[in-house]
Every structure is written in C-alpha cells, then in structure tokens.
C-alpha cells in the first residue's frame, strides 16, 4: 500500500539526530548542534567581514548585507517599538535576528534541510534570556515597586476590575510570555518541517507506484519550500520585534 504513504516516518525520526562526534561527553555534537554552529559562524562572519574592510560609500557584497540588516532592524523594529533610546539594544537585536534567521533557513537548504529551531532547546534559552532582559530593564527604569505596580495594576482600569485583571497580567507577563515566545518559533519550525517532509514522502511514494501522479505533490513541495523561506524570515522578524516590544514596554510604561 505504497500509494497511501502509510510508511510515514514516526515524528521522532524527523527530529532526533544521533551524535556524530564527542559522543558521551557534554560536548556531543549532532546535526542540530552543527546547524547552530553554522548560524553562529555565519552571523559573526557577516559582521566581522563587513567591519574589517574599509566601508565603501556604495555598499556591495557582504557590507551590503550587514548594512541592510542593521537598517532593517533599526527602522522596522527598534524605531517602531522602543524609540530612539532603544538604539543601545541594536547589537543584541540584530545579532539575534541573524542568528535565528540562519538557523531557520537551513530548513530549505538542499541536502541539509533541517531547521535547528525545531528543537525546543535554543528557542527556550533565547526566550528566557529575553525574559531576564526585559525584567531587568523594567526594574532599572521604573524601580522594583513601580515596575510591579505598572505591570500588575495597569492604569486606566476601573478599580473593581483589578480582581480579574491582576491575576491575568501576573500570569501573562511573567509566566506565559517567554513560553509563548519560544513555542511560536519552535512550533512554526516543526510545522514547516513536517509539511515539507509530508510532501517529499508523498512524492517519493507516488514516484514508486505511479510516476505521473507524483507531479502534484512535487509541485506542492516546491511551492511550500518558497513559503517556508518566507516563514523562516518572518519568524526571525517576529521573535526580534516581540523582544523589542517587551523591552519597550518595560522601559516606557503607559501613564
């Protein structure tokens, strides 16, 4: 019954990778780790190569990539959410954007085809880092008491509604935020990978049994690959912009 593609691999087989080096030590390396190493090296290479050379007036090559990335983060992330005094977060936000983008984009690189962020470890680490940063900024800019008061008792709400609003704000600000941030990135990458695998398995199974019928899932596979390029870019952007929104919310409370 190859036609029904019943031999779909179990979900674990798609996301568990055996270690390929240093097995048994804490430094064991598998495909996920290699992808993160690639993302880290690529991010560092872009900015150090662009910085090492003398900047040209008309940017080209790697300098163009670095400058347009910085420009993009400054104009559509920082200025829209935090404002001019958020520029000190530019290095953090830009690095995070490129790191997430590079570890997502491996999803569609032929021969590699695995989004590293479809493992929960790195998204939750980044999200907890963001949690620490925005809480620290809130305490720094409003004081511990003012920060708690502004985030738990938002101004402009009728007093008796605080019975409902305060528990909701407590849970959503301090508990749900980092998890929703991590789950958003992780689940999008898992879903994208499953989608691509489904159409790839379907075209392979149909190719074996009745070749012309494989054309439809194969066309879908190509279309979905294009869609996943968009998704990996968009998820990097959304992670960065939500980080900026959270930081901006702690720095400038509503009055």
Partner 1 sequence: MLNVLAQTGAGEMLEGLKAIGAGLGYGLAAIGPGIGIGTVVGNAISSMARQPESAGMVRTTMFLGIAFTEALALIGFVVFILLLP
Closer to partner 1 by Cβ: residue 10 or 156: 10
Is 103 among the residues that bind partner 1 (CB under 8 A)?
Answer: no
Segment near partner 1 (CB under 8 A); pick from 57-65, 106-114, 181-189, 202-210: 181-189
Is 191 among the residues that bind partner 1 (CB under 8 A)?
Answer: yes
Task: Give burial (CB, 10 Å; 0-12/13-18/19+) of 192.
Answer: buried
3-state secondary structure of 8: coil
CA distance 232 to 152: 34
Is 198 among the residues that bind partner 1 (CB under 8 A)?
Answer: no
Segment near partner 1 (CB under 8 A); pick from 44-52, 99-107, 182-190, 219-227: 182-190
Is 5 among the residues that bind partner 1 (CB under 8 A)?
Answer: no
Pick one of 50, 214, 236, 241: the residue that binds partner 1 (CB under 8 A): 241
Closer to partner 1 by Cβ: residue 201 or 245: 245
Pick one of 19, 80, 95, 113: the residue that binds partner 1 (CB under 8 A): 80
Q: Which residues pair with 21 in a beta bridge?
A: 29
User: Measured from the CB of residue 188, what is the shortest distance to partner 1 in angstroms?
Assistant: 7
Asked whether 244 and 78 are in contact (CB, 8 A), the reply is yes
User: Measured from the CB of residue 51, what is the shortest distance to partner 1 in angstroms?
Assistant: 28
CA distance 66 to 72: 10
Pick one of 4, 161, 219, 234: the residue that binds partner 1 (CB under 8 A): 234
CA distance 253 to 231: 32
DSSP per-residue codes, 214-246? GHHHHHHHHHHHHHHHHHHHHHHHHHHHHHHHH
DSSP per-residue codes, 156-203? TS-GGGHHHHHHHHHHIIIIIHHHHHHHHHHHHHHHHHHHHHHHHHHH
Is 245 among the residues that bind partner 1 (CB under 8 A)?
Answer: yes
User: Measured from the CB of residue 191, what is the shortest distance to partner 1 in angstroms?
Assistant: 6
Chain positions contacting partner 1, by CB under 8 A: 11, 76, 80-81, 180, 183-184, 187-188, 190-191, 234, 237-238, 241-242, 245
């Amino acid at each position: 019954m190859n036609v029904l593609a019943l031999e779909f691999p179990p979900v674990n087989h798609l996301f568990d990778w055996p270690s390929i080096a240093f097995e048994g030590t804490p430094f064991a390396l598998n495909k996920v780790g290699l992808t993160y190493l690639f993302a880290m090296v690529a991010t560092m290479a872009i900015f150090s190569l662009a910085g090492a050379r003398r900047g040209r007036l008309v940017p080209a090559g790697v300098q163009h990539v670095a400058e347009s990335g910085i420009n993009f983060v400054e104009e559509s992330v920082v200025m829209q959410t935090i404002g001019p005094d958020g520029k000190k977060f530019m290095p953090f936000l830009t690095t995070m954007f490129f790191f997430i983008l590079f570890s997502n984009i491996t999803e569609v690189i032929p021969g590699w085809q695995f989004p590293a962020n479809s493992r929960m470890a790195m998204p939750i680490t980044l999200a907890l880092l963001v949690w620490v940063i925005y809480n620290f900024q809130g305490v720094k800019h409003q004081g511990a008491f003012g920060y708690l008061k502004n985030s738990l008792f938002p101004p402009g709400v009728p007093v008796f509604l605080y019975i409902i609003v305060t528990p909701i704000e407590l849970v959503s600000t301090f508990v749900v935020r980092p998890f929703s941030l991590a789950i958003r990135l992780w689940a999008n990458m898992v879903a994208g990978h499953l989608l691509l695998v489904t159409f790839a398995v379907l075209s392979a199974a149909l190719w074996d049994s009745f070749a012309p019928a494989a054309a439809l899932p194969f066309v879908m596979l190509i279309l979905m690959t294009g869609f996943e390029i968009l998704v990996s870019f968009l998820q990097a952007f959304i992670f960065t912009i939500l980080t900026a929104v959270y930081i901006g919310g702690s720095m400038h409370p509503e009055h």
